[in-house]
Copies of this chain bind each other. A is one copy, B any other.
Amino acid sequence: KSFSTTFYRNMLSSELSEADVSALRVNKERLARDLHHSCQWGFGIRWGDESTDTGMQRLALSEEDKSVRNWFIQTMKDLKCDITVDEMGNIFAVRAGRRKDVPATFIGSHLDTQPTGGRYDGILGVLSGVEALKRMDEMGLETEGGVGVVNWTNEEGARFPVSMISSGVWAECIALSKAHDLKEVPTVASLPTAASAPETMKSALQKIGYLGSMPCSYKSTPMAAHFELHIEQGPHLVSAGQRVGVVTAVQAYRWFRLNVIGRDTHTGTTAFEHRADALYAFARMMVRAREVAAGRGCLASVGIIEAKPGSVNTVPGEVSFSLDIRGPETELVAEVEKELRRDFDEIAAAEGAGIGKPCRVEWTLDFDSPAVKFHDDCIECVQQSAHAVVADASVADPKSLVRPIMSGAGHDSVFTSKRVPTSMIFVPCKDGLSHHPEEFCSADDCATGASVILQAVVRYDRRRFA
């Protein structure tokens, strides 16, 4: 069943039949072309021979981020969208609906990447929105409410170490001033500005010209709902050969910065029992963290570490590191934290006990994201759309290609879900690998996900005015 591009000319979403909606598909080739086109700004480590066989290194608010933002805005203007940039640099592009007095339904994600990131994490989410609007435009499909695409700033939390910070400010869960004052991680790989004094989010926004004037709040840029397409970033879909994940929930996580204070001393003349070696204490803590987290079905990870003073023959007297604890329930993460606070104190106390000056450990909570359940209406729209899109698959039970799934990673949808109906769509990625240059999602899988989000948005629009 295939539709001519004129089929929907001047049709309104609410006038379509169920079969018409189920037949909606994006243009796979155009989506792939646009996606890789947008990856010209900030492409990273090469891993294969094809021109698109590279990772991405597009840290939030870098020059590369500025370029892709400019491209995004121009592209959306060409689609006659209305553009708004808020105080966190979030970009809202809205295609008007019939009714002017209601908020738009949004497709959103992010264009920033990890320092050694890939071409799909976040980027696919925004580009699926671009493609959905291109498709609606060429078909002449109109909606009751508007349909928007939003690019959220610094979702990764790689350059500025709070993930989803700008959707967090929008949801009024994070204070604007805290976000504006947040400093970049000085050691993040290859960041050209890392050399000089670290930028704050505000100074970085100013530098690239994306400090907008619109207040960053769900009150100023309201939404009817938020849908997000993302690669799974984990192994479940790909290893089961499934094609679409209907995301019902997101696991909890907390980010900490820890400082271990010991005593600088000579490596060659200081017996182990006379040391308060902050790095040795760290090593024991990291080993313990995995043990404790694993024991409760959780994760604990260290991504950033710095040891001072940083000399071969000086025992480090100060170590700071990041700790990322995750688990399927908020309570489990809290339990891991509690246990680790006790164990780390114990480890610190043991190191340096011989000189009566044991190490100390200090914790700072940088970010707290409790477990989230998405909205039933949105989940239903996604599920119906997913079943419709996979229906033509040549397997006995196409619906088996779709499964409900919990997200291990955080997403901007976590914060939009605090204020508006929200849900997400996952598609498989190679080896479940993400935050790695070789992160990969086939053009087919990208298009499947984008067709699902296109239908979900149309279904949501029909539903809200039914």
Binding site for B on A (CB under 8 A): 114-116, 156-158, 161, 163, 185, 187-189, 195-196, 232-235, 251, 253, 255, 263-272, 274, 277, 279-280, 282-284, 286-287, 290, 293-294, 299, 301-317, 322, 324, 326, 355, 407-410, 431-437
Cβ of A312 and Cβ of B158 under 8 Å apart? yes
* A56–chain B nearest beta-carbon distance, Å: 12
Cβ of A274 and Cβ of B432 under 8 Å apart? yes
Cβ of A307 and Cβ of B310 under 8 Å apart? no
Cβ of A303 and Cβ of B299 under 8 Å apart? no
Cβ of A115 and Cβ of B311 under 8 Å apart? yes
| 8 Å CB contact of A311 from B185, B263, B312 | B185
For the complex, what is the distance from the CA of A315 to the CA of B255, rounded to whole Å?
Answer: 14
* Contact A315-B435, Cβ < 8 Å, known A266-B233, A279-B305: yes
Cβ of B305 and Cβ of A307 under 8 Å apart? yes
For the complex, what is the distance from the CA of A306 to the CA of B186, rounded to whole Å?
Answer: 13
Cβ of A304 and Cβ of B315 under 8 Å apart? no
| 8 Å CB contact of A268 from B266, B322, B326 | B326
Query: Which of A255, A283, A312 has the most C-beta atoms of chain B within 10 angstroms of its own C-beta?
Result: A312
Cβ of B303 and Cβ of A311 under 8 Å apart? yes
Cβ of B303 and Cβ of A313 under 8 Å apart? yes
Cβ of B268 and Cβ of A314 under 8 Å apart? no
For the complex, what is the distance from the CA of A317 to the CA of B189, rounded to whole Å?
Answer: 12
Q: Tell me which residues across on chain B come within 8 A of A196, comparing CB atoms.
A: 195
Cβ of A287 and Cβ of B284 under 8 Å apart? yes
* A162–chain B nearest beta-carbon distance, Å: 9
Q: Tell me which residues across on chain B come within 8 A of A410, comparing CB atoms.
A: 268
Q: Tell me which residues across on chain B come within 8 A of A287, comparing CB atoms.
A: 280, 283-284, 287
User: What is the count of identical protomers in the complex?
Assistant: 2
Cβ of A432 and Cβ of B270 under 8 Å apart? yes
Cβ of B268 and Cβ of A311 under 8 Å apart? no
CB-based nearest B residue for A307: B305
* Contact A294-B270, Cβ < 8 Å, known A301-B315, A312-B157: no
| 8 Å CB contact of A435 from B115, B195, B265 | B265
* A357–chain B nearest beta-carbon distance, Å: 10
CB-based nearest B residue for A436: B264
What are 15 A-B residue pairs whose CB atoms fall within 8 Å in the complex? A116-B264, A157-B313, A163-B313, A185-B312, A188-B309, A189-B308, A267-B301, A268-B410, A271-B299, A272-B294, A280-B286, A303-B312, A303-B314, A303-B316, A313-B435
Cβ of A313 and Cβ of B317 under 8 Å apart? no
* A60–chain B nearest beta-carbon distance, Å: 11
Cβ of A267 and Cβ of B299 under 8 Å apart? yes
Cβ of B315 and Cβ of A303 under 8 Å apart? yes
CB-based nearest B residue for A293: B272
- With A232-B269, A265-B434, A267-B299 already in contact, 20 other A-B pairs whose C-beta atoms are closer than 8 Å: A114-B313, A115-B310, A188-B311, A189-B310, A255-B312, A267-B303, A267-B324, A268-B408, A268-B410, A269-B407, A272-B294, A279-B286, A279-B302, A280-B286, A280-B290, A302-B307, A303-B311, A303-B313, A303-B315, A314-B435
Cβ of A309 and Cβ of B116 under 8 Å apart? yes
* A411–chain B nearest beta-carbon distance, Å: 10
* A254–chain B nearest beta-carbon distance, Å: 11
Cβ of B326 and Cβ of A267 under 8 Å apart? yes
Cβ of B311 and Cβ of A114 under 8 Å apart? yes
Query: Which of A116, A195, A268, A290 has the most C-beta atoms of chain B within 10 angstroms of its own C-beta?
Result: A268
Cβ of B290 and Cβ of A272 under 8 Å apart? yes
* A407–chain B nearest beta-carbon distance, Å: 8
Q: Tell me which residues across on chain B come within 8 A of A306, comparing CB atoms.
A: 187
For the complex, what is the distance from the CA of A437 to the CA of B163, rounded to whole Å?
Answer: 38
Cβ of B284 and Cβ of A272 under 8 Å apart? no
